[in-house]
Amino acid sequence: MSKSISGFSKLSKVKKIDWIVDTYFSNAENAKAVLKQYWNDNEKLQQLHDEFIENTITNYYLPLGVAPNFLINDKLYTIPMAIEESSVVAAASKAAKFWLNRGGFKTKVISTTKIGQVHFIYKGDFEKLKQFFNEVKPKLIHDTNTITKNMKKRGGGILDIELRDKTNNIKNYYQLHVSFETLDAMGANFINSCLEQFAETFKNEALDFQLFSDEEKQIDIIMSILSNYVPDCLVRAEVSCNVEDLSENNSVNGEAFANKFVQAVKIAEVEPYRAVTHNKGVMNGIDAVVLATGNDFRAVEAGVHAYASRNGKYSSLTHAKVENGIFTFWIEIPLALGTVGGLTGLHPLVKLSLEMLHKPSAKELMQIVAVAGLAQNFAALSSLTTTGIQEGHMKMHLMNILNQFEATDIEKQTLIEHFKNNTVTHSAVTEAINELRIKN
Protein backbone atom coordinates (compact mmCIF):
# COMPACT_ATOMS: atom_id res chain seq x y z
CA MET A 1 0.00 0.00 0.00
CA SER A 2 1.30 3.47 -0.91
CA LYS A 3 2.28 5.78 1.89
CA SER A 4 3.33 9.40 2.18
CA ILE A 5 6.83 10.40 3.18
CA SER A 6 8.26 13.50 4.82
CA GLY A 7 11.70 14.87 3.94
CA PHE A 8 12.13 12.73 0.81
CA SER A 9 14.24 15.33 -0.98
CA LYS A 10 16.75 15.33 1.88
CA LEU A 11 17.40 11.58 1.62
CA SER A 12 20.45 10.25 -0.17
CA LYS A 13 19.95 8.76 -3.61
CA VAL A 14 20.31 5.24 -2.18
CA LYS A 15 17.75 5.93 0.56
CA LYS A 16 15.33 7.40 -1.99
CA ILE A 17 15.59 4.23 -4.06
CA ASP A 18 15.16 2.01 -1.00
CA TRP A 19 11.93 3.78 -0.11
CA ILE A 20 10.64 3.67 -3.71
CA VAL A 21 11.27 -0.03 -4.26
CA ASP A 22 10.04 -1.07 -0.81
CA THR A 23 6.85 0.96 -1.19
CA TYR A 24 5.82 0.27 -4.78
CA PHE A 25 7.31 -3.03 -6.00
CA SER A 26 6.56 -6.62 -5.13
CA ASN A 27 10.14 -7.59 -5.99
CA ALA A 28 12.20 -4.79 -4.46
CA GLU A 29 15.57 -6.27 -5.39
CA ASN A 30 14.61 -6.69 -9.04
CA ALA A 31 13.30 -3.12 -9.23
CA LYS A 32 16.49 -1.83 -7.62
CA ALA A 33 18.59 -3.79 -10.12
CA VAL A 34 16.70 -2.26 -13.06
CA LEU A 35 17.24 1.25 -11.71
CA LYS A 36 20.93 0.66 -11.05
CA GLN A 37 21.71 -0.85 -14.45
CA TYR A 38 21.05 2.55 -16.01
CA TRP A 39 23.52 4.35 -13.75
CA ASN A 40 26.70 5.47 -15.39
CA ASP A 41 29.90 3.83 -14.16
CA ASN A 42 31.65 7.18 -14.41
CA GLU A 43 30.83 8.67 -10.99
CA LYS A 44 31.52 12.24 -12.08
CA LEU A 45 29.26 11.91 -15.12
CA GLN A 46 26.55 10.25 -13.03
CA GLN A 47 26.70 13.05 -10.47
CA LEU A 48 26.31 15.57 -13.29
CA HIS A 49 23.13 13.82 -14.44
CA ASP A 50 21.86 13.48 -10.88
CA GLU A 51 22.09 17.25 -10.45
CA PHE A 52 20.16 18.17 -13.61
CA ILE A 53 16.86 17.68 -11.75
CA GLU A 54 15.59 16.90 -8.26
CA ASN A 55 15.00 13.50 -6.63
CA THR A 56 16.99 11.62 -9.30
CA ILE A 57 16.89 7.84 -8.95
CA THR A 58 18.37 6.75 -12.30
CA ASN A 59 18.88 7.80 -15.93
CA TYR A 60 16.22 7.43 -18.62
CA TYR A 61 17.86 6.67 -21.94
CA LEU A 62 16.73 7.74 -25.40
CA PRO A 63 18.55 6.64 -28.56
CA LEU A 64 20.71 9.30 -30.21
CA GLY A 65 20.73 8.73 -33.95
CA VAL A 66 21.98 10.74 -36.91
CA ALA A 67 20.47 11.68 -40.25
CA PRO A 68 23.20 12.41 -42.85
CA ASN A 69 23.20 14.13 -46.26
CA PHE A 70 21.34 17.32 -45.32
CA LEU A 71 22.34 20.04 -47.77
CA ILE A 72 21.30 23.34 -46.17
CA ASN A 73 22.20 26.56 -47.97
CA ASP A 74 24.87 24.61 -49.88
CA LYS A 75 26.50 23.29 -46.69
CA LEU A 76 26.38 19.61 -45.76
CA TYR A 77 25.14 18.53 -42.32
CA THR A 78 24.66 15.32 -40.42
CA ILE A 79 21.84 16.05 -37.99
CA PRO A 80 21.72 14.44 -34.51
CA MET A 81 18.27 13.27 -33.36
CA ALA A 82 17.27 12.03 -29.91
CA ILE A 83 13.97 10.13 -30.18
CA GLU A 84 12.42 6.76 -29.38
CA GLU A 85 9.94 6.49 -32.27
CA SER A 86 10.71 4.03 -35.03
CA SER A 87 11.25 5.35 -38.58
CA VAL A 88 11.75 9.03 -37.69
CA VAL A 89 15.50 9.06 -38.30
CA ALA A 90 15.13 6.83 -41.35
CA ALA A 91 12.45 9.11 -42.81
CA ALA A 92 14.53 12.25 -42.22
CA SER A 93 17.55 10.58 -43.82
CA LYS A 94 15.50 9.52 -46.82
CA ALA A 95 14.18 13.05 -47.35
CA ALA A 96 17.67 14.50 -47.00
CA LYS A 97 19.03 12.13 -49.63
CA PHE A 98 16.07 12.84 -51.95
CA TRP A 99 16.74 16.59 -51.90
CA LEU A 100 20.54 16.31 -51.90
CA ASN A 101 20.69 16.30 -55.70
CA ARG A 102 17.73 18.61 -56.16
CA GLY A 103 19.28 21.75 -54.69
CA GLY A 104 18.94 20.87 -51.02
CA PHE A 105 17.15 22.97 -48.43
CA LYS A 106 17.12 26.77 -48.48
CA THR A 107 16.58 28.63 -45.22
CA LYS A 108 16.51 32.10 -43.75
CA VAL A 109 15.86 33.60 -40.34
CA ILE A 110 13.04 36.13 -40.62
CA SER A 111 13.23 37.56 -37.09
CA THR A 112 14.60 36.70 -33.63
CA THR A 113 12.53 38.79 -31.21
CA LYS A 114 11.44 37.17 -27.94
CA ILE A 115 8.76 38.32 -25.54
CA GLY A 116 8.29 38.71 -21.80
CA GLN A 117 5.44 40.25 -19.81
CA VAL A 118 4.73 41.81 -16.43
CA HIS A 119 1.07 41.19 -15.62
CA PHE A 120 -0.54 43.57 -13.12
CA ILE A 121 -3.80 44.94 -11.75
CA TYR A 122 -4.34 48.70 -11.66
CA LYS A 123 -7.56 50.26 -10.37
CA GLY A 124 -7.63 53.77 -11.73
CA ASP A 125 -7.55 56.18 -14.64
CA PHE A 126 -5.82 54.71 -17.71
CA GLU A 127 -4.66 58.14 -18.88
CA LYS A 128 -2.78 58.59 -15.60
CA LEU A 129 -1.27 55.12 -16.00
CA LYS A 130 -0.06 55.97 -19.51
CA GLN A 131 1.56 59.17 -18.25
CA PHE A 132 3.21 57.29 -15.41
CA PHE A 133 4.49 54.61 -17.80
CA ASN A 134 5.99 57.18 -20.17
CA GLU A 135 7.81 58.84 -17.30
CA VAL A 136 9.05 55.63 -15.67
CA LYS A 137 10.05 53.76 -18.86
CA PRO A 138 13.65 55.13 -18.94
CA LYS A 139 14.11 54.12 -15.30
CA LEU A 140 12.80 50.62 -16.00
CA ILE A 141 15.56 50.18 -18.56
CA HIS A 142 18.16 51.89 -16.36
CA ASP A 143 17.45 49.63 -13.39
CA THR A 144 18.22 46.52 -15.47
CA ASN A 145 21.66 47.76 -16.58
CA THR A 146 23.51 45.32 -14.35
CA ILE A 147 21.47 42.46 -15.84
CA THR A 148 21.72 43.55 -19.47
CA LYS A 149 25.34 44.77 -19.46
CA ASN A 150 26.94 41.65 -20.95
CA MET A 151 24.05 40.96 -23.33
CA LYS A 152 24.26 44.51 -24.69
CA LYS A 153 28.01 44.10 -25.29
CA ARG A 154 27.21 41.21 -27.61
CA GLY A 155 24.53 43.20 -29.44
CA GLY A 156 21.42 42.01 -27.62
CA GLY A 157 19.26 43.24 -24.79
CA ILE A 158 15.90 44.97 -24.33
CA LEU A 159 14.33 46.13 -27.58
CA ASP A 160 11.20 47.85 -26.30
CA ILE A 161 8.65 48.06 -23.48
CA GLU A 162 4.97 48.66 -24.19
CA LEU A 163 2.05 49.31 -21.86
CA ARG A 164 -0.94 47.20 -22.92
CA ASP A 165 -4.53 47.67 -21.79
CA LYS A 166 -6.17 44.24 -21.36
CA THR A 167 -9.22 45.38 -19.42
CA ASN A 168 -11.55 44.09 -22.15
CA ASN A 169 -10.43 40.62 -21.14
CA ILE A 170 -10.12 40.98 -17.35
CA LYS A 171 -11.23 43.88 -15.20
CA ASN A 172 -8.33 46.21 -14.27
CA TYR A 173 -5.79 43.97 -16.03
CA TYR A 174 -2.77 45.56 -17.75
CA GLN A 175 0.67 44.37 -18.79
CA LEU A 176 4.13 45.53 -19.63
CA HIS A 177 4.86 43.80 -22.92
CA VAL A 178 8.62 43.60 -23.46
CA SER A 179 10.59 42.52 -26.52
CA PHE A 180 14.14 41.13 -26.27
CA GLU A 181 17.07 40.03 -28.40
CA THR A 182 19.03 37.26 -26.67
CA LEU A 183 21.41 36.23 -29.50
CA ASP A 184 22.83 32.70 -29.01
CA ALA A 185 21.12 32.18 -25.65
CA MET A 186 17.56 30.92 -25.44
CA GLY A 187 17.38 33.68 -22.83
CA ALA A 188 14.76 32.48 -20.35
CA ASN A 189 16.75 33.36 -17.23
CA PHE A 190 17.90 36.66 -18.71
CA ILE A 191 14.37 37.67 -19.68
CA ASN A 192 12.82 36.63 -16.38
CA SER A 193 15.46 38.53 -14.39
CA CYS A 194 14.75 41.70 -16.39
CA LEU A 195 11.01 41.30 -15.94
CA GLU A 196 11.24 40.89 -12.19
CA GLN A 197 13.33 44.04 -11.99
CA PHE A 198 10.78 45.89 -14.15
CA ALA A 199 8.02 44.78 -11.78
CA GLU A 200 9.89 45.95 -8.69
CA THR A 201 10.76 49.35 -10.18
CA PHE A 202 7.28 49.85 -11.62
CA LYS A 203 5.55 49.08 -8.32
CA ASN A 204 7.93 51.18 -6.20
CA GLU A 205 7.87 54.21 -8.51
CA ALA A 206 4.07 54.17 -8.52
CA LEU A 207 4.10 54.91 -4.78
CA ASP A 208 5.71 58.31 -5.46
CA PHE A 209 3.79 59.30 -8.60
CA GLN A 210 1.95 62.45 -7.62
CA LEU A 211 -0.96 62.13 -10.07
CA PHE A 212 -2.00 58.79 -8.60
CA SER A 213 -4.58 58.59 -5.84
CA ASP A 214 -3.75 56.38 -2.87
CA GLU A 215 -5.67 53.50 -4.47
CA GLU A 216 -3.99 54.01 -7.84
CA LYS A 217 -0.56 53.82 -6.23
CA GLN A 218 -1.25 50.26 -5.08
CA ILE A 219 -0.34 48.47 -8.29
CA ASP A 220 -0.71 44.73 -7.76
CA ILE A 221 1.92 42.73 -9.65
CA ILE A 222 0.44 39.34 -10.48
CA MET A 223 3.47 37.76 -12.16
CA SER A 224 6.50 38.45 -14.34
CA ILE A 225 7.40 35.77 -16.88
CA LEU A 226 8.70 35.22 -20.41
CA SER A 227 6.36 33.94 -23.10
CA ASN A 228 7.04 30.76 -25.04
CA TYR A 229 4.84 32.13 -27.80
CA VAL A 230 7.39 33.74 -30.12
CA PRO A 231 5.63 34.62 -33.40
CA ASP A 232 8.38 37.17 -34.10
CA CYS A 233 11.18 34.62 -33.70
CA LEU A 234 10.63 33.08 -37.11
CA VAL A 235 12.60 30.90 -39.50
CA ARG A 236 11.71 29.71 -42.99
CA ALA A 237 12.89 26.53 -44.71
CA GLU A 238 11.94 25.33 -48.17
CA VAL A 239 12.70 22.91 -50.98
CA SER A 240 11.83 23.30 -54.64
CA CYS A 241 12.47 21.66 -58.00
CA ASN A 242 10.93 21.11 -61.40
CA VAL A 243 7.86 18.89 -61.12
CA GLU A 244 9.36 16.28 -63.45
CA ASP A 245 12.38 16.01 -61.12
CA LEU A 246 10.12 14.65 -58.39
CA SER A 247 10.10 11.33 -60.23
CA GLU A 248 12.29 8.79 -58.47
CA ASN A 249 13.63 5.69 -60.24
CA ASN A 250 10.75 6.10 -62.74
CA SER A 251 8.42 4.58 -60.15
CA VAL A 252 6.47 7.77 -59.46
CA ASN A 253 5.14 10.25 -62.00
CA GLY A 254 6.37 13.69 -60.91
CA GLU A 255 3.21 15.58 -61.86
CA ALA A 256 0.89 13.08 -60.21
CA PHE A 257 3.05 13.04 -57.09
CA ALA A 258 3.12 16.85 -56.87
CA ASN A 259 -0.62 17.24 -57.34
CA LYS A 260 -1.47 14.65 -54.70
CA PHE A 261 1.15 16.03 -52.31
CA VAL A 262 -0.20 19.60 -52.62
CA GLN A 263 -3.74 18.36 -52.03
CA ALA A 264 -2.60 16.54 -48.89
CA VAL A 265 -1.08 19.75 -47.54
CA LYS A 266 -4.23 21.73 -48.40
CA ILE A 267 -6.30 19.23 -46.42
CA ALA A 268 -4.05 19.81 -43.39
CA GLU A 269 -4.48 23.57 -43.87
CA VAL A 270 -8.27 23.40 -43.56
CA GLU A 271 -9.00 20.28 -41.47
CA PRO A 272 -7.84 20.47 -37.81
CA TYR A 273 -8.22 16.71 -37.24
CA ARG A 274 -5.68 16.12 -40.00
CA ALA A 275 -3.57 19.17 -39.11
CA VAL A 276 -2.80 17.92 -35.60
CA THR A 277 -1.37 14.63 -36.88
CA HIS A 278 0.31 16.42 -39.79
CA ASN A 279 2.05 18.82 -37.40
CA LYS A 280 2.90 16.01 -35.00
CA GLY A 281 4.98 14.59 -37.84
CA VAL A 282 6.72 17.93 -38.27
CA MET A 283 7.48 17.94 -34.55
CA ASN A 284 8.94 14.41 -34.75
CA GLY A 285 11.85 15.96 -36.60
CA ILE A 286 11.98 19.22 -34.67
CA ASP A 287 11.75 17.77 -31.14
CA ALA A 288 14.41 15.17 -31.88
CA VAL A 289 16.98 17.84 -32.80
CA VAL A 290 15.86 20.17 -30.02
CA LEU A 291 16.44 17.37 -27.50
CA ALA A 292 19.78 16.38 -28.99
CA THR A 293 21.01 19.97 -28.73
CA GLY A 294 19.91 20.47 -25.12
CA ASN A 295 17.02 22.82 -25.83
CA ASP A 296 13.52 22.92 -24.31
CA PHE A 297 11.20 20.90 -26.52
CA ARG A 298 8.17 21.64 -24.31
CA ALA A 299 8.60 25.38 -24.89
CA VAL A 300 9.07 24.81 -28.62
CA GLU A 301 5.98 22.59 -28.81
CA ALA A 302 3.79 25.09 -26.96
CA GLY A 303 4.92 28.01 -29.10
CA VAL A 304 4.64 26.12 -32.37
CA HIS A 305 1.10 24.88 -31.75
CA ALA A 306 -0.02 28.35 -30.64
CA TYR A 307 1.42 29.66 -33.92
CA ALA A 308 -0.49 27.00 -35.86
CA SER A 309 -3.68 28.48 -34.35
CA ARG A 310 -2.80 32.14 -34.84
CA ASN A 311 -5.56 32.75 -37.41
CA GLY A 312 -8.29 31.40 -35.14
CA LYS A 313 -8.22 27.82 -36.42
CA TYR A 314 -5.58 25.13 -35.98
CA SER A 315 -3.83 24.59 -39.31
CA SER A 316 -0.83 23.07 -41.08
CA LEU A 317 2.65 24.38 -40.32
CA THR A 318 3.83 23.46 -43.81
CA HIS A 319 2.62 24.63 -47.22
CA ALA A 320 3.06 23.48 -50.81
CA LYS A 321 2.34 24.74 -54.31
CA VAL A 322 3.05 24.10 -57.97
CA GLU A 323 3.55 27.21 -60.10
CA ASN A 324 4.97 27.35 -63.63
CA GLY A 325 6.10 23.76 -63.38
CA ILE A 326 7.98 24.31 -60.09
CA PHE A 327 7.09 22.35 -56.97
CA THR A 328 7.74 24.24 -53.72
CA PHE A 329 7.30 22.96 -50.18
CA TRP A 330 8.03 25.20 -47.21
CA ILE A 331 7.59 25.91 -43.52
CA GLU A 332 7.65 29.12 -41.47
CA ILE A 333 7.90 28.34 -37.80
CA PRO A 334 8.69 30.11 -34.51
CA LEU A 335 11.75 28.65 -32.77
CA ALA A 336 13.39 30.17 -29.70
CA LEU A 337 16.62 28.18 -29.34
CA GLY A 338 20.00 28.59 -27.71
CA THR A 339 23.52 27.31 -28.27
CA VAL A 340 24.96 28.72 -25.05
CA GLY A 341 23.70 28.37 -21.48
CA GLY A 342 21.51 25.65 -19.99
CA LEU A 343 22.51 22.09 -20.87
CA THR A 344 24.50 23.19 -23.92
CA GLY A 345 27.64 23.60 -21.84
CA LEU A 346 26.95 20.75 -19.40
CA HIS A 347 25.67 17.62 -21.13
CA PRO A 348 28.51 15.81 -22.95
CA LEU A 349 26.24 14.49 -25.71
CA VAL A 350 24.78 17.95 -26.28
CA LYS A 351 28.31 19.29 -26.74
CA LEU A 352 29.02 16.54 -29.28
CA SER A 353 25.74 17.20 -31.10
CA LEU A 354 26.49 20.90 -31.43
CA GLU A 355 30.03 20.18 -32.62
CA MET A 356 28.61 17.74 -35.17
CA LEU A 357 26.50 20.65 -36.45
CA HIS A 358 29.63 22.80 -36.91
CA LYS A 359 29.03 24.66 -33.60
CA PRO A 360 26.08 26.68 -34.89
CA SER A 361 24.87 30.04 -33.68
CA ALA A 362 21.30 30.19 -32.41
CA LYS A 363 20.20 31.51 -35.82
CA GLU A 364 21.92 28.63 -37.61
CA LEU A 365 20.38 26.12 -35.23
CA MET A 366 16.93 27.59 -35.90
CA GLN A 367 17.46 26.87 -39.60
CA ILE A 368 18.74 23.33 -39.03
CA VAL A 369 15.81 22.47 -36.76
CA ALA A 370 13.27 23.90 -39.21
CA VAL A 371 14.81 21.78 -41.97
CA ALA A 372 14.50 18.65 -39.82
CA GLY A 373 10.79 19.36 -39.38
CA LEU A 374 10.25 20.03 -43.08
CA ALA A 375 12.17 16.90 -44.08
CA GLN A 376 10.18 14.75 -41.69
CA ASN A 377 6.90 16.10 -43.04
CA PHE A 378 8.02 15.61 -46.63
CA ALA A 379 8.88 11.97 -45.94
CA ALA A 380 5.58 11.33 -44.16
CA LEU A 381 3.45 12.94 -46.87
CA SER A 382 5.41 11.16 -49.59
CA SER A 383 4.56 7.83 -47.98
CA LEU A 384 0.96 8.75 -47.21
CA THR A 385 0.22 9.80 -50.78
CA THR A 386 1.99 6.83 -52.43
CA THR A 387 2.55 3.52 -50.62
CA GLY A 388 0.82 4.43 -47.34
CA ILE A 389 2.62 5.08 -44.11
CA GLN A 390 2.15 1.76 -42.36
CA GLU A 391 4.28 -0.36 -44.68
CA GLY A 392 7.51 1.44 -43.88
CA HIS A 393 6.61 2.33 -40.30
CA MET A 394 5.64 -1.20 -39.28
CA LYS A 395 8.75 -2.69 -40.83
CA MET A 396 10.80 -0.30 -38.73
CA HIS A 397 8.63 -1.23 -35.75
CA LEU A 398 9.23 -4.96 -36.31
CA MET A 399 12.40 -4.94 -34.22
CA ASN A 400 10.56 -3.44 -31.25
CA ILE A 401 7.95 -6.20 -31.42
CA LEU A 402 10.63 -8.89 -31.65
CA ASN A 403 12.41 -7.42 -28.64
CA GLN A 404 9.15 -7.57 -26.68
CA PHE A 405 9.19 -11.32 -27.30
CA GLU A 406 12.89 -11.49 -26.35
CA ALA A 407 13.66 -13.01 -29.75
CA THR A 408 17.11 -14.52 -30.23
CA ASP A 409 19.45 -13.25 -32.95
CA ILE A 410 18.59 -16.27 -35.12
CA GLU A 411 14.86 -15.70 -34.62
CA LYS A 412 15.25 -12.02 -35.52
CA GLN A 413 17.17 -12.85 -38.68
CA THR A 414 14.58 -15.44 -39.76
CA LEU A 415 11.57 -13.20 -39.08
CA ILE A 416 13.08 -10.10 -40.65
CA GLU A 417 13.56 -12.14 -43.81
CA HIS A 418 9.99 -13.47 -43.53
CA PHE A 419 8.43 -10.02 -43.22
CA LYS A 420 10.26 -8.63 -46.24
CA ASN A 421 7.35 -10.07 -48.23
CA ASN A 422 4.61 -10.09 -45.60
CA THR A 423 2.61 -7.38 -43.87
CA VAL A 424 3.88 -6.48 -40.40
CA THR A 425 1.23 -6.38 -37.67
CA HIS A 426 1.57 -7.22 -34.00
CA SER A 427 -0.69 -10.26 -34.39
CA ALA A 428 1.19 -11.46 -37.49
CA VAL A 429 4.54 -11.23 -35.69
CA THR A 430 3.08 -13.03 -32.65
CA GLU A 431 1.81 -15.85 -34.82
CA ALA A 432 5.08 -16.10 -36.78
CA ILE A 433 7.34 -16.24 -33.74
CA ASN A 434 5.11 -18.81 -32.02
CA GLU A 435 5.16 -21.02 -35.12
CA LEU A 436 8.93 -20.67 -35.39
CA ARG A 437 9.40 -21.69 -31.78
CA ILE A 438 7.08 -24.70 -32.14
CA LYS A 439 9.11 -25.91 -35.13
CA ASN A 440 12.34 -25.55 -33.18
Distance CA 360, CA 80 (A): 13
H or E element that contains 411: helix 409-418
Q: Name the DSSP class of 105.
A: B
What region, left, alpha or beta, does residue 295 occupy, with left being phi > 0 and alpha being psi -120 to 50 degrees? beta
Name the H helices within 87-183.
88-100, 126-142, 145-153
Question: Which are the catalytic amino acids?
Answer: 85, 280, 296, 393
How far apart, in whole angstroms, are the C-alpha atoms of residue 89 and residue 103? 21
Which spans in 318-361 are helix H?
Answer: 348-356
| Cα dist from 388 to 52, 239, 246, 379, 394, whole Å | 41, 22, 18, 11, 11
**Residue 37: Cβ within 10 Å count:** 9
Alpha helices of 181-322 — where are they, by DSSP H?
188-206, 214-217, 254-270, 272-292, 297-308
Q: Are 180 and 189 in contact (CB under 8 A)?
A: no
Helix, strand or coil for residue 79?
A: strand
Longest dimension (CA), the chain: 93
Query: Burial letters for 276-310: b for 16+ Cβ neighbours within 10 Å, e otherwise?
Result: eebbebbbbbbbbbbbbbbbbbebbbebbbbbbee
Helix (H) or strand (E) segment spanning residue 49: helix 43-50
CA 240 – CA 246 distance, rounded (Å): 10
